[in-house]
Amino acid sequence: MKIKAKIILLLFVTFSLSTTLLVALVYVFFSDYSFSDFYHRLEIRALATARIELGFKASEIEAFRRESMQRLDNETDYLIDTSRNWKSEALRQGLSPLFVQEVMSQGKAFSRKDNTFYAGVLYTAAPNPHVVVVSADNYYEAHHMAYMRNLLLLVSLAALVLLAVISALLTRILVRPLADMAAKARRISSENLHLRIEVANPKDELGAVALTMNDMLDRLETTFESQKNFISNASHELKTPLTAIIGEADVVLARR
C-alpha cells in the first residue's frame, strides 16, 4: 500500500472512530436524560393525581390540572388503596403487584413496558395510604429521540464524507513533495549529475531526505568526474607509446 493511501486510511479511520464515539456518547446521554425527564413528568402527574383524587377542593383541582400541563399520549391514572386487598386491585387495573409493592416499600418507583412508562408514588396525606400510578407512552422516545437518531446519523455521514475529502486533500499536500522529489530523481542520470533536488524546508524530515540525496549525488558526481579524468589521462598517456609502437611496426612491415 502506498504512503498516500496509508495516510488517507489512517486519518479516515481515526476521525471516523472519533466521530462515531462522539455521536454515540451524545445519543446515550441524551437518551438517559430523556428517560429521566419523562419519569419526572410522570411522578409530578402522579402526585397531582393523588392530591386531586384524595382531598383537594374543586378550585384546587383546576389549579393542579393547569400545573400538570398538557396530557401525555395514552396517559392513564391508577389509584390503589393499600389498606384493602391491593394485590387484587393492582391485577384488576392491569398493574404488576411487584411494582405496587416496590412503590409501597420505597415511597416511589418507576417501570417500563415497551414504550409505556410507569411512575408510582405512595401518597400518605389521605386517611388511607394510596399508591398512585401514572402511565403514558413516551412521546419523546417515539418522536424526539427518533429525530435525534436520524439527525445524528445524517451528521455522521456528512462528517465522514467531509473527513474523507479533508484526508485526501491533506495527504495530497503532504505527499506532493515526495512525488516532486521522485520525479526530480528520475530525471537525474550520468549525463546530468549536476542537477539537484530542491529543498523546500531543510528543517523537516523531507528536507533531511532531500539533503541526504543531494549529498549522495555530490559524491556520485565526484566519483564520475574522477573516473572521467582518469580515463582521459590514461588515454593521453597511452597514446604516445602506442603511436611509437605502431610506427615501428609499420617500418618493420615496410622492410619486408
Res 58: pLDDT: 44
Long-range contacts of 136-141 (CB under 8 A, 24+ apart): 136/42, 136/45, 136/72, 136/73, 136/74, 136/75, 136/76, 137/72, 137/73, 137/74, 138/34, 138/35, 138/38, 139/72, 139/73, 140/34, 140/37, 140/38, 141/34, 141/35, 141/38, 141/115
Q: What angle do CA 20, 35, 120 make, to 5 degrees?
A: 160
Res 50: pLDDT: 66
Low-confidence ranges of the chain (pLDDT < 50): 57-58, 61-62, 68
Res 61: pLDDT: 47
Q: Give the model confidence (pLDDT) of 191-249 as tens digits.
A: 787 888 887 777 777 778 888 888 888 888 888 888 877 777 777 666 677 676 777 67
Res 57: pLDDT: 47
Res 238: pLDDT: 67
This model's pTM is above 0.85: no
Quick one: which of 137, 119, 136 has its CA closest to 47?
119
Res 185: pLDDT: 81
Find out whether 139 and 121 touch, Cβ atoms under 8 Å.
no
Quick one: which of 157, 160, 202, 142 has its CA closest to 177?
202
